[in-house]
Amino acid sequence: YTVSEVKVKDYETKVDGTTITNTYKNTETTELSGKKVWEDYNNKFNTRPESITVQLLQNGTEFQTKEVKADKDGNWSFDFKDLPKYDGQGNEFKYTVSEVKVDGYETKVEGTTITNTYKNTETTELSGKKVWEDYNNKFNTRPESITVQLLQNGKKFKIEAVKADKEDNWTFSFKDLPKYDEQGNEYTYTVSEVKVNGYEAKVEGTTITNTYKNTETTEISGKKVWDDNNAIDRPVSIKVDLLQNGKVIDTKEVSAATNWKYTFEKLQVYDANGVAYKYEVKEQPVAGYKSEVNGYDITNTKIKDEPGVDPKDPSKTDPKDPSKTDPKDPSKTDPKDPSTDPNTNTDKNSDSKVPPTTENDKPTLLPNTGGTSAEMSSILGGIVLFLLGGILLARQRIK
């Protein structure tokens, strides 16, 4: 004899001899749904695969897998249905999901949402050079090294000390630089330089040009010397021109008020090519003087008149000059009046005769002793008129 049992719903029956064991088996099911999120700049770099494989884990052990693709709206979703809810001991299963790794992406699972993030690991590099415009370091102003700053989107990212190589080239490079940010936007890299004293920096692309402008200045001073025995016709002022490489760049008025001294200040010593300027002074012409420059001192020497030569025209007499004959002047003779001839004595009773004036009797012209010819002419004219007047007066008395 044996025994059996009419089936009891939801139980499994096991007969062992005359022992009937009924085991309850929970057939309740569940399901799991989720979605796939892509953070890859909207597939900007075409890195997204056509499909992924999602793994369903039951209590941490792979239970099922499913291939997931985008639907017609571009959504990536998945679900697992009819999953046993309890194990044989009545314990509820724990279901989780994971993903078979996608190259180039980092995976993060939150609940049943799987997020794939693409981190563009593409790199770039930046190279440049340093150019010096400092007259080949003529003034020994160039430093031994400079500091180049690398800016990423305008913010300091890296720095590098740069020196000349054995061929005296100044170059730099920044390598393994991330090319894109987290949003897939390409970084902009630029360079700048920590300021070098005495230089002006100009950046064009990755070329940094340092220009040294020599701001050294000088001044030129001189004095005016007069060699004219304190002449009364000395000018009250003169003008001195300053020449830079032969061209007039400034003019000073010099007078007794400045003690006949002058100074040109704040003069550039070197031109844009580092070549020293040549400075000279020259005086604007002064009538009656000869100018001589010794260094920056100027000597004016009075030009002396040649003896017997009047610089002024002696034929042009001064209205006040007595040599101009007055209409009533007895020296003017009447051609019809023989008595007016100083060389002829018409008085027969008179033994006195006025001898004619000979060449030797004529007054001798005095040499020019420094006075003007007009003054001498006036004096000589006065003497001649005085003598003629005396002769005529004597003749009248004889008559």
- Say if 81 falls within a structural domain: yes
Each residue of 125-171: pLDDT tens digit?
999 999 999 999 999 999 999 999 999 999 999 999 999 999 999 99
Q: Are 257 and 190 within one domain?
A: no
- Say if 10 falls within a structural domain: no
353: nearest Cα among 343, 368, 341: 343
Q: Are 391 and 320 within one domain?
A: yes
- Say if 188 falls within a structural domain: yes
Domain CATH code at residue 189: 2.60.40.1140
Structural domain of 281 = 217-302
Chain-centre distance for alpha carbon 67? 67
Q: Which position has the token pair 């697992």?
A: 80
- Say if 3 falls within a structural domain: no
Q: Are 281 and 316 within one domain?
A: no
Q: Are 103 and 134 within one domain?
A: no
Residue 396: the pLDDT is: 62
- Which of 302, 323, 356 represents a domain boundary (last residue)? 302
Each residue of 1-60: pLDDT tens digit?
999 999 888 788 999 999 999 887 788 999 999 999 999 989 999 999 999 999 999 999
Lay out the sheet containing 113-118: strands in order across. Answer: 76-84, 29-39, 113-118, 105-110
- Say if 335 falls within a structural domain: yes
Q: Are 114 and 153 within one domain?
A: no
- Report the distance separating Cα 370 and Cα 360, nearest Å: 26
**H/E element, 384:** helix 373-398
Q: Are 258 and 192 within one domain?
A: no
- Say if 85 falls within a structural domain: yes
Q: Are 204 and 152 within one domain?
A: yes
- Which of 302, 333, 356 represents a domain boundary (last residue)? 302
- Say if 90 falls within a structural domain: yes
Each residue of 60-109: pLDDT tens digit?
999 999 999 999 999 999 999 999 999 988 899 999 999 999 999 999 99
Q: Are 316 and 399 within one domain?
A: yes
Residue 376: the pLDDT is: 65
- Say if 2 falls within a structural domain: no
pLDDT at 362 over 50: no
Q: Are 127 and 208 within one domain?
A: yes
- Which of 162, 188, 212 represents a domain boundary (last residue)? 212
- Number of domains into which the chain is organized: 4
